[in-house]
Structure 1
Amino acid sequence: MTQADSPESPLSAASDAVGTAAEAFELLSSETRLAILVALWDAYDPFDDENAVGFTDLRRTVGMTDSGQFNYHLEKLTGHFVESAAEGYELREPGRKFVRAVIAGAGIEEPTMDRTEIDMDCTLCGGDVEVFYEDGWVYNVCTDCDGLWDDEEAPTGHLSKFQFDPAGFAHRSADEVYAAAWVRAFQHIYSMIEGVCPTCSGSVDRSLDTCSDHDESGVCEACGRRTALTVRFRCPVCKDWARGTMGVVAKYHPAAVAFYYDHGLTLQYGFNDVASINDRLERGVTSSEVLSEDPLTVRVTLALDGDELALDLAEDLTVLDVHEPA
């Protein structure tokens, strides 16, 4: 840890812990450099081959009269966030990614969405369902039962929560926000199932968490969830994460996708509305059982319209076997 009288800056001292991230934060600590990125972003068109901005035009847009000082800041960005070409300067992909994060809502005032009832019934008890937004998450809660999860950060009745950026609230009703959050969450977890972090492209650790003292009568006090088995995804690079039920992983498998499709229900297409989400949740019934403790093997059974499809999964969530309907 850096001492109070150390000449080393706190940000530099943190470099050992976060690697090049500290350098990036320090590089972007200048208002002028941020203004350069914004100006280049404003000139950027993904379908235009000519996105470069000349030095003089860029300096005038940023509002600096001292060309020497402006060149100093521009050179600091060039190579990582900005690319220099004969025609001028333009953003490189890391620069575009940074500005996208800001536009999506990072660091700006969060929107508010009070508890709002949506056109959905709780699949556990049939009660009314409400959604609200808090601290970057869209929460989905039942007003009548304990829900699926006992999360200290969520209220009683917690059914699900999805990460959602403030930009996603524009021109959307509560129903539309929930549906959009659902789509974003499943695309996020699909990438993690494939072992690729959707945030930083790092490798993802996949695991199966079991509760040995599980109480099946409701939300278990030991593990804080209704099901004894939970899948976990964690990126060791950027620490992005996700969790879900066994059914989430099983329904990603092509055999499950085909099974549902044959019964007139699509899993990975056309679910950007509450009615489609309702149809998916109400018609499909999922159950899990442990087949073997060592090695851990779990059978997930999907039931739909009187037919059943079963998939056997290993502890690392690999599908070992598929049992087609009889």
Structure 2
Amino acid sequence: MTGPEFVETSDTEAAFTALADETRIEIIRTLWAADGHEARFSELREAVGVRDSGRFNYHLEELLDQFVAKTDDGYELAEAGIWANGAIERGAYTMEGTLEPVTLEEPCRTCGEPRTLYYEGETVRIECESCPVKSEFTVPPSVFVDVDREQVPDTAGRYLRSMFQHLGNGFCWYCDGRIRRRVGPAADPDEEIPEDASVELFEQLLEFPLVEYDCRRCGATSSTGIGHALLDHPAVVGLFNEHDVGVDGRSVWRFAALDTDRARILERDPFRAAVTYEAETESLTLTVDGNCDVLEIDDSDA
């Protein structure tokens, strides 16, 4: 039995060219706001604000069969049109913003010193004041619209968690293509120690398991600690639920495992790594292989 087959129905340049006009963008946004994302020709033209019927029809025709579909009652937004509107609302093309650095309430889990969150160029960067451990991830400006300053760290953490959930389900965060998941050391043993890194920290990174995600379609790569990658495993969710600590809707900072006391490489060949979660006096350890598939589950008192 053969799998499903898909072909490109139009080239990328043609698709983006169809959106390269203010009137067409307004058609998409107007249909999005309409009941059922659908409207009659006259209603749509009036809402968009184009008096010339012929000119309006020209722009509408440029969107048909890809971003807009013709129905018995008029026109409706196609799936590609919905995604295009989402990209506009996301602010990736039209918004930019910065904020003053925010000191995080939770200290660095590696050295215990304060950490600071920075946001610039659509990138959240979290740095420790005393050690080189840091994290970076992209967050569109729309995520922080109408968010109070003190809520920024938690909002960024929940956004990052949604990214891990998407990747954990096997799909690329950027293009929804299928991803490959691999676990390996956070540092390459064949590389020289960076000048600004301590020997002790570098040796710790050699034993710390990092999960890498590679998209088979667009080639995008992402990585995270094994503690984040397995946060939605049923055994982990069950542990925290037993102690009234819901995993859903919480910031990832609450559950990070960023040191070799909680996440560690056990074997190199065959590859084995383990991560331990703690809730009051109980602990749960998951052992995984090089594909991040869970091999063993061990629960005991912390």
- Following the alignment from structure 1 to structure 2, what is the Cα–Cα distance between the partners of residues 278 and 189? 13
**Where do 1:168-187 residues align within 5 Å?**
168-187=143-162
How far is 1:190 from its partner? 1.5
Contact 1:162–1:181 (8 Å) recurs in 2: no
SS at match of 1:300: strand
- Following the alignment from structure 2 to structure 1, what is the Cα–Cα distance between the partners of residues 49 and 189? 65
Q: Does 1:38 align with 2:29?
A: yes
SS at match of 1:146: coil
Change (3 A) 1:304 1:38: closer
How far is 1:79 from its partner? 1.4
| 1:132 aligned to which of 82, 107, 118 | 118
Paired residues in the alignment total 284
Give the residue type in structure 1 aligned to 2:217.
V
Contact 1:118–1:175 (8 Å) recurs in 2: no
Give the residue type in structure 1 aligned to 2:275.
V
Q: Match of 1:220?
A: 202
- Following the alignment from structure 2 to structure 1, what is the Cα–Cα distance between the partners of residues 173 and 253? 26
Q: Match of 1:290?
A: 266
Contact 2:212–2:224 (8 Å) recurs in 1: yes
| 1:257 aligned to which of 237, 243, 246 | 237
- Following the alignment from structure 2 to structure 1, what is the Cα–Cα distance between the partners of residues 224 and 202? 16
**Where do 1:27-176 residues align within 5 Å?**
27-43=18-34, 48-49=35-36, 51-143=37-129, 145-148=130-133, 158=134, 160-176=135-151
| 2:248 aligned to which of 256, 269, 275 | 269
Q: Does 1:207 align with 2:193?
A: no
SS at match of 2:262: strand
Give the residue type in structure 2 aligned to 1:31.
E
- Following the alignment from structure 1 to structure 2, what is the Cα–Cα distance between the partners of residues 250 and 58? 47
- Percent of aligned pairs with the same residue? 27
SS at match of 2:66: coil
| Structure 2 stretches lacking a partner, 5+ long | 1-7
How far is 1:35 from its partner? 2.5
SS at match of 1:121: coil
How far is 1:247 from its partner? 1.6
- Following the alignment from structure 2 to structure 1, what is the Cα–Cα distance between the partners of residues 95 and 188? 42
How far is 1:325 from its partner? 2.1
TM-score by length of 2: 0.81
| Structure 1 stretches lacking a partner, 5+ long | 1-16, 149-157
| 1:243 aligned to which of 215, 223, 233 | 223
Change (3 A) 1:278 1:320: closer
SS at match of 2:117: strand
SS at match of 2:106: strand
Contact 2:66–2:81 (8 Å) recurs in 1: yes
Computed over aligned residues only, the root mean square deviation of the Cα atoms, in angstroms, reads 3.0
Change (3 A) 1:117 1:299: closer
